């Protein structure tokens, strides 16, 4: 019997997304049993200030009940995990949860976990650097012209090539479309662009200004299953203004999604899904990840990756899972199986130093 601790929350700008994702997973666990060889025994909530609350799993509780109780240091919570040989299933997004830090800690302490790989999370959560990697290694897809900024000094000069064009301003390493907005870059809009970049740099080391590509947006989820990487059904995203920002993502009525069954994939969508699988495998993404693309009449543009996608009831990954007969609780089972089957690389090598 493998005992599981679900860890959620975190010190992150995406804390609320993690809470809502846990809420949906928890509702599924209340209604559905895991396989007999698996048992959720503990829930660990990481508060915004970094302390943890460790609670015994009890389906009679509400999801928010786990956010009340005795606060302990985060290191003590993970010592509890190690001492009790628990598998960690993480619902931790953005900073300190999805950006390689939690993954490095889990690897260093040999935790059994579904937190993902260090490389994929570190690179995947830096949109700028991931875009450079994709542009250099995957000629079958394009990447929008992008300017990375670490300050607002000489902003007009830095963005000269984008003058007069529609642009997207967004953080390099924050998810959930936080502080992501579309503008037409004009002199009149420059103060608003500068203001948003300034706000982004309070949270992130880089703000990205990216050429807006008009086309159809698709999100392709990939799943690591039985030793293979497979693409789930893609999801088409539609909005009134042809832009998928934070408002469109989280406020009802501002976007609609359509799951595209594989038999209805266009040649361009098949190319996007093939690229998603290749990136997933090459960068050691684990368990589940999501890759976003814009499809024009003749081209596929890569936007970004999400190493640990949200699992709210209406999330894109959740929709893709359902089409394949799964739901979010199955991700726990898949993550445990993947970790059991993952080969540990040797670290001890003997050689002579004179």
Taking only the tens place, the pLDDT of each residue in 298-318 is 999 999 999 999 999 999 999
| Interval 63-73 mean pLDDT | 97
Query: What's domain 124-141+214-341's superfamily in CATH?
Result: ATP-grasp fold, B domain (3.30.470.20)
Reported confidence tier of residue 18, pLDDT bands at 50, 70, 90: very high
Arithmetic mean of pLDDT, 213-235: 96
Q: Does position 180 have pLDDT exceeding 80, yes or no?
A: yes
Residue-level pLDDT at 69: 95
The whole-angstrom separation of Cα 219 and Cα 233 is 9
Q: What is the pLDDT of residue 127?
A: 95
Q: What is the CATH number of domain 2-114?
A: 3.40.50.20
> pLDDT digits over 190-214, tens only?
999 999 999 999 999 999 999 999 9
Sheet holding 87-92, edge to edge: 71-72, 52-56, 38-46, 2-9, 87-92
Confidence band for 347, pLDDT divided at 50, 70 and 90: confident
* CA–CA dist 76, 324 (Å, integer): 39
The predicted pLDDT at position 245 comes to 84
When the pLDDT of each residue in the chain is averaged and rounded to a whole number, the result is 95
Query: Which pLDDT value is given to residue 344?
Result: 84
Report whether 62 contacts 43 (CB < 8 A).
no
pTM score: 0.93
pLDDT score, position 199:
96
Q: pLDDT band for position 224 (50/70/90)?
A: very high
Can you tell me the mean pLDDT for 16-43?
Answer: 96
Q: What is the pLDDT of residue 236?
A: 97
Sign of CA dihedral 288, 322, 96, 80: negative
Give the start-to-end residue ranges of the domains of the chain.
Answer: 2-114, 124-141+214-341, 146-211
- CA nearest neighbour of 334 among 343, 348, 321: 321
Query: What pLDDT is stored for residue 286 in this prediction?
Result: 97
Using the predicted structure, report yes or no on whether residue 176 has a pLDDT greater than 80. Answer: no
26, 289, 258, 326: CA torsion to nearest 10: -50
Higher pLDDT residue, 175 or 160? 160
Q: Is the pLDDT of residue 219 over 80?
A: yes
| Fold topology of 146-211 | Dna Ligase; domain 1 (3.30.1490)
Higher pLDDT, 254 or 43: 43
The answer to whether 335 and 311 are in contact (CB under 8 A) is no
The distance from CA 143 to its chain's CA centroid, rounded to whole angstroms, is 19
Which pLDDT score is estimated for 315?
A: 95
* CA 145 and chain centroid, separation: 22
Average pLDDT over residues 5-15: 95
18 has which bridge partners?
A: none
> Mean per-residue pLDDT for 125-134?
96
Domains 2-114 and 124-141+214-341 equal at CATH topology level: no
- Residue found by looking up tokens 């007009």 in the block: 156
Per cent of the chain over pLDDT 70 is 100
Report strand pairing: 71-72 vs 38-46: unpaired
Which tokens sit at 346?
A: 């040797």
Segment 43-66 shows an average pLDDT of 97
Q: Which residues contact 147 (CB under 8 A, 6 or more apart)?
A: 158, 159, 161, 162, 208, 209, 210
Mean pLDDT of 116-139: 96
Please report the pLDDT score of residue 115 as a whole number. Answer: 96
Average pLDDT over residues 169-185: 90
């Amino acid at each position: 019997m493998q005992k599981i601790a679900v860890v959620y929350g975190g010190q992150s700008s995406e804390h609320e997304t993690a809470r809502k994702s846990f809420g949906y997973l928890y509702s599924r666990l209340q209604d559905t049993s895991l396989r007999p060889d698996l048992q959720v025994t503990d829930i660990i909530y990481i508060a915004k200030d970094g302390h943890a609350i460790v609670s015994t799993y009890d389906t009679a509780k509400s999801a928010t009940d786990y956010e009340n109780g005795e606060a302990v240091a985060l290191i003590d919570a993970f010592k509890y995990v190690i001492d009790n040989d628990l598998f960690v299933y993480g619902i931790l997004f953005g900073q300190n949860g999805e950006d390689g830090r939690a993954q490095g800690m889990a690897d260093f302490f040999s935790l059994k976990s579904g937190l993902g790989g260090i490389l994929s999370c570190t690179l995947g959560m830096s949109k700028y650097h991931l875009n450079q990697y994709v542009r250099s290694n995957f000629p079958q897809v394009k990447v929008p012209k992008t300017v990375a900024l670490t300050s607002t000094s000489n902003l007009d000069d830095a963005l000269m090539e984008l003058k007069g064009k529609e642009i997207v301003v967004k953080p390099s390493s924050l998810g959930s479309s936080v502080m992501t907005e579309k503008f037409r870059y004009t002199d009149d809009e420059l103060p608003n662009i500068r203001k948003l970049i300034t706000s982004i740099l309070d949270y992130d080391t880089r703000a990205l200004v990216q050429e807006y590509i008009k086309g159809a947006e698709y999100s392709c989820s990939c799943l690591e299953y039985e030793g293979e990487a497979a693409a789930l059904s893609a999801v088409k995203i539609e909005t009134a203004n042809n832009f998928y920002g934070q408002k469109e993502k989280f406020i009802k009525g501002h976007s609609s999604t359509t799951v595209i069954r594989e038999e209805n994939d266009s040649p361009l969508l098949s190319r996007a899904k093939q690229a998603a699988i290749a990136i997933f495998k090459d960068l050691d993404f684990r368990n589940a990840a999501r890759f976003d693309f814009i499809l024009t009449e003749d081209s596929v543009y890569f936007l970004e990756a999400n190493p640990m996608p949200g699992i709210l009831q209406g999330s894109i990954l959740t929709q893709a899972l359902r089409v394949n007969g799964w739901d979010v609780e199955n991700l726990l089972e898949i993550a445990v199986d993947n970790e059991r089957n993952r080969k540990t690389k040797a670290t001890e090598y003997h050689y002579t130093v004179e």
